[in-house]
Structure formats: structure tokens, C-alpha cells
Structure 1
Amino acid sequence: MSVKGLVTYRSAAASRVTIFDSFKIYPSIIRKKLKKLKLYAGDFVEGEIVDDKFVIEKIYERKNLLTRPPVANVDNVLIVVAIKNPDFDNYLLDNFLAVYEYKQIEPVIIFNKIDLLSDKSELKKWMEIYKKIGYETHALSAKENSAIEKIKDYIKGQISILAGPSGVGKSTILSKILDIPIKTKDISNKLKRGRHTTTAVTLYRFNENSFIADTPGFSKVEATYFMEKKDVRLYFREFLNYSCKFPDCTHTSEPGCKVKEAVLKGEISCERFKSYLKIMNYFWEELPC
């Protein structure tokens, strides 16, 4: 009898499928007719259980595919950052946001380690900037779990990934989402995975049909690696509220640019626009920040 499932583990040599009716996990193999197709964690598949193995007979069309880690059909990404330890880098975050907008994956911004802040004015400033744009934004402290429950509810029934720079506490957040009360340094062994490995990807199940994967830490992400420079403007979502004189305006040197006017009026965050200009490798003397 044919059954449907989700590829929840994929490495160069092996894969495992979680079936949807019982959430039982089976080692999987691919029918010879599908051997030319690549299989990824996050793939929805159909097949048969034969000799306690899931024999994949069909791989459903993907709505998206990430490369690091290689995960398909991602619904949202939890981008974890910190104001302190390590210091906040809004340029890195803005590149992350543009890339995931391009991939049509909803980003959620998590400001972690807020218990390290004696003055939360900078945290408040950045949270307001991103909330105004329309991003789901949360602040977390290692000392409390209330915000974790809100995040778990938000990503319930979906495939999510954690992303962000090294050292911001992604592993701690993952352990809390999965309800594993262990020290951060022990997480890799407890979950049976190596630190920052990209050769094997595991989707961990929580809240019934909810799954989440970790990613390696990023010290650098460039939006132009994923898209043409001329298209970056399409993935800064606040720019889409303005109609410039030229429909293909890059918001750099063109006259009649409503986006630049909005920056001067304070309607668009100067810090965000500064990130955009840096991506575009353009200098604007009138930039007010």
C-alpha cells in the first residue's frame, strides 16, 4: 500500500523518511527509475514499506530549495542574532532577509541573549525598525522560556530552519524548541550530529507535524551571490510601497526616486537603506546616517 512521508534525514550515503500517519521513521531507498533525481531533507515523498524500509517511488515537486544546509520545502527561517556577544551586524541580517525573501521563505527575526543587556535601548531601536517593515520579531533570554512557546506556536505544522551568525545561541534555542534540557556544548552528541556539518541534514520533529533543522553559522552572506544586483531592490520589502519615476529604478542614481525621498523623510530606515547601498556598492552623499 502506498504511503506518504517526509525525508527527515539525508546524507551522502543514507536517508530516512518519517511517515505521516504514525510518524514512524524508516531508513529509505529510492526506486531505480528515480536514481537520477536528487533527494533532499524536506522532500515530500510517496512509496511503500518493504522489509522495514521505505521504498521511495515518487518525489513531489518542491516549492523551494536551500543550499546551506540543503533543505527543501522550507516554510520559514528563524534568523537568530544578538545585540551583544557577538555584536549586532545589521548588514548581515539585511542580506539574510533579502536572500530569504528571494527564496520566498518567511523570515522570523530572533534577538537572543537579551539578558546580557543592561541597557535595552539599542535592542528596542532595532526591533522597532524590523517590526515596522512587517517582520515577525522576538526577543529571547536564556533565563526564560515564554518567548520560545510563542515561536513554537508560530512555526507549528511547518518546516523551519535556524540560521544566523556563529555564537548567537542557535543551539540553545534548538534545544528549547525540542525540549531537550541539556547544556549547549552537549547538544551535538545528544542529537547525534556534528557541529556545523553540511554533509548530513536532519529535520527534528516537534509539536506533532512540525519539523526544524539547524544550519552552520554564517560570518558572511551576500545577497548578490543569490540574485542579480538589479533585482536586490525587489527583496527589501519596504521599497515596494513606493512608485518611482522609472519602474526599473535601482534607488541609487536615478532622478525621481521615491525610495530615496522616503529615506530623507524618515519613512524608510536609514540603516536599512545604508545596507542596501552597500550591497549595491553605491555611495550616496546625502545619506542621513
Structure 2
Amino acid sequence: MSVKGLVTYRSAAASRVTLLDSLATYPSILRKKIKKHKLYAGDYVQGEIVGEQFVIEKIAPRKNLLVRPPVANVDSVLVVMAMKSPNFDSYLLDNFLAVYEYIGITPVIIFNKVDLADPQEVNRWKKLYESIGYEVVTLSALQEENLQKIKHYIQGNITIVAGPSGAGKSTLLSKLLGIELKIGEVSEKLGRGRHTTTAVTLYPADKNSFIADTPGFSKVEATYFMDKREVHRYFREFLRYRCKYSDCTHTNEPGCAVQEAVMRGEISCSRFKNYLKIMQFFWEKLDTVCKESRE
């Protein structure tokens, strides 16, 4: 009898499927006729249980597919950024946000380890990203603050947890799921986290919600995912302004309403600096415009 399942574990050599009705999990193999197809965590599949294995006969069409981490059919993403240990990196966060906006997945920003940081600094960054339109949750994972709010965001979704190594993703997942996951210590010598995860696992939060424990990484570049000329479309606040030219990249074009908004203080200097860094463009007015800015 054919049954439906979700691929909840995928590594180079193995996979597992969880049944959607009972949450029972089985080692899985592809039926010979579809062995040429690639299989990813997050794939919805149909097949039959033969002995102790789930034999996959069909892979449903995907609504999206992330390359890093390799997960299909993602509904939401929690972007976890530590405020300390390692230090907060707004450039990395802005790359993450642009990438997920490009893919079409709305990110939720989690500022973690806030107990280690200056409260005023945390509040400043929180207000900035909320003003752009992002949902932001401040969290000390070890103290379990605001965990219920995060559970609301993952309800009924396939969710991934993204962010740099050492940001506290595994700690957060352990608290959300009530299970112990392997937690990587932050290297004091290198100031960044060690990679602790080698495969993608989707854990059931309930019958309708799954969340992925994914590898951490210290560098993400938006231009790896999209053409440089597209990046401006995925900085939300830029879309509020109409430039002289409809294809303005907000770098060297005349009549740029976005640059004018930066000069008026309507767009964050930190965000615009990060955008120009992504674009590898030097704007000679930037230092003067942002001289008195705290960002």
C-alpha cells in the first residue's frame, strides 16, 4: 500500500523517511526506476514499507530547494545571530537576509546570547531591523527567554535554522525540541564556531512542523546566489523609493533616490555600507554622510 512521507534525514550515504500520519521513521531507499533522481531532506515522497525500509517510488515536485544547506520545500527560516561570542556581524546578517528574500522565504531574525551584550546595543539593532519590516526575537537560549514566540513561527512549517557557527543554533534547537543535540564550542583562538553538523536532519516539532539542524558557516555571499544587479531588490527599505532610472543599482547612477534617503538619514548607514560592500562599490560621500551616525 502506497503511503506518504517526508525525507527527514539525508547524508551522502543514507536517508530516512518519516510518515506524515504517525511520525514513524524508516531507513529509505529509492526504487530502481527513480535512482537517477536526487533526494533531499524536505522532499515529500510516496512509497511503500517493505520489511524495515521505506521504498521511495515517487518524489513530489519541490516548491523550492536551498543549496546551502541542501533542504527542499522550506517554509520559514530562523536566522540566528549571536550578539557576542562570536561578535555580531551585520554584514553577514544582511547577506543572509538578501539570500532568503531572493529565494522567497521570509526570515525571522533571532538575536541570541543577548545576556552577554550591551542592552542598548541589542535594542538599537532590534529597532533597526524591525523598522525595515522584519520579525525580530531577542534570546538567551540557555535562559529559555522568548522560546514560545519562536515556536509560533515554526508552527505548521518546514523550518531551517541558519546562521554562523557558534551562534547557538544547536542550543536553541535542543530547547525547542526538548532533546539534546551536539553543541559545538566556539573556538576562542579563531573567534568562530567549529562545524558540528555533517548531515541535514529534520526533527518533528509536532505532526505538522519540522525543523532542520543544519551546518553552520562563517561566510555567505549574496552574489553567489544572484546576479550583482539583482541585489538591490532584496534590501526591503530600498523598495520604498523611486529612482530616476528603474534599473538603478544605487551605486553610480544620477538621480538615485536611495542615496538621497541615506543622506537624509532615512536609510541606515550600516545597511547601505553593507550593500555597497556586497556590490564592491566605493561611494565617496559615504564617510561624510555617515560620520555622525552611530551605525
| Alignment match, 2:170 | 171
| Alignment match, 1:101 | 101
What per-residue deviation string (whole Å, max 9, x for no partner) do you get for residues 77-107 of structure 1?
1111122221111011101111111111111
Report the CA distance between 1:267 and its aligned residue. Answer: 1.7
Report the secondary structure of 2:36's partner residue: coil
Question: Is 1:31 the equivalent of 2:31?
Answer: yes
| Alignment match, 2:90 | 90
Report the Cα distance in structure 1 between the residues aligned to 2:20 and 2:179, rounded to whole angstroms: 23
Deviates more, 1:162-171 or 1:151-160: 162-171
TM-score (norm 2): 0.90
| Alignment match, 1:213 | 212
Map 1:273-284 → 2, pairs under 5 A: 273-284=272-283
Report the secondary structure of 2:146's partner residue: helix
Report the secondary structure of 1:218's partner residue: coil
* Residues 20 and 207 in structure 2, CA contact (< 8 A), matched pair in contact too: no
What per-residue deviation string (whole Å, max 9, x for no partner) do you get for residues 115-166 of structure 1?
113x311111111111111111100024532411110111111111111112
Report the CA distance between 1:65 and its aligned residue. Answer: 1.2
* Residues 7 and 15 in structure 1, CA contact (< 8 A), matched pair in contact too: yes
Q: Where does the alignment leave 5 or more consecutive residues of structure 2 unmatched?
A: 186-193, 291-295
Matched to 1:75, the amino acid is D
Report the secondary structure of 1:203's partner residue: strand
Runs (4 or more) in structure 1 with deviation over 6 Å come to none
Map 1:1-289 → 2, pairs under 5 A: 1-117=1-117, 119-180=118-179, 184=183, 196-198=196-198, 200-287=199-286, 288-289=289-290
* Residues 46 and 58 in structure 2, CA contact (< 8 A), matched pair in contact too: yes
* Residues 244 and 257 in structure 1, CA contact (< 8 A), matched pair in contact too: yes
Matched to 1:270, the amino acid is C
CA-based RMSD: 1.9
Deviates more, 1:249-258 or 1:26-35: 26-35
Report the Cα distance in structure 1 between the residues aligned to 2:170 and 2:197, rounded to whole angstroms: 13
Report the Cα distance in structure 2 between the residues aligned to 1:142 and 1:214, rounded to whole angstroms: 15
* Residues 77 and 161 in structure 1, CA contact (< 8 A), matched pair in contact too: yes
Report the CA distance between 1:258 and its aligned residue. Answer: 1.1
Percent identity reads 68
Report the Cα distance in structure 1 between the residues aligned to 2:184 and 2:253, rounded to whole angstroms: 51
Report the Cα distance in structure 2 between the residues aligned to 1:40 and 1:95, rounded to whole angstroms: 24
What per-residue deviation string (whole Å, max 9, x for no partner) do you get for residues 51-95 of structure 1?
232221111111111122211111111111122221111011101
Matched to 2:11, the amino acid is S
Cα 1:256–1:137, aligned 2, differ >3 Å: closer, same or farther?
Answer: same
* Residues 43 and 72 in structure 2, CA contact (< 8 A), matched pair in contact too: yes
TM-score (norm 1): 0.91
Report the secondary structure of 1:23's partner residue: coil
Report the CA distance between 1:33 and its aligned residue. Answer: 1.5
Report the CA distance between 1:263 and its aligned residue. Answer: 1.3
Report the Cα distance in structure 1 between the residues aligned to 2:250 and 2:37, rounded to whole angstroms: 41
* Residues 173 and 181 in structure 2, CA contact (< 8 A), matched pair in contact too: no
Matched to 1:172, the amino acid is T
Report the CA distance between 1:183 and its aligned residue. Answer: 8.5
Cα 1:130–1:23, aligned 2, differ >3 Å: closer, same or farther?
Answer: same
Report the secondary structure of 1:275's partner residue: helix
Report the Cα distance in structure 2 between the residues aligned to 1:54 and 1:116, rounded to whole angstroms: 46
Matched to 1:247, the amino acid is S
Report the secondary structure of 1:249's partner residue: coil
Report the Cα distance in structure 1 between the residues aligned to 2:184 and 2:225, rounded to whole angstroms: 32
What per-residue deviation string (whole Å, max 9, x for no partner) do you get for residues 13-40 of structure 1?
2211111111111111211121111000
* Residues 250 and 258 in structure 2, CA contact (< 8 A), matched pair in contact too: yes
- Total equivalences in the alignment: 280
Q: Where does the alignment leave 5 or more consecutive residues of structure 1 unmatched?
A: 187-193
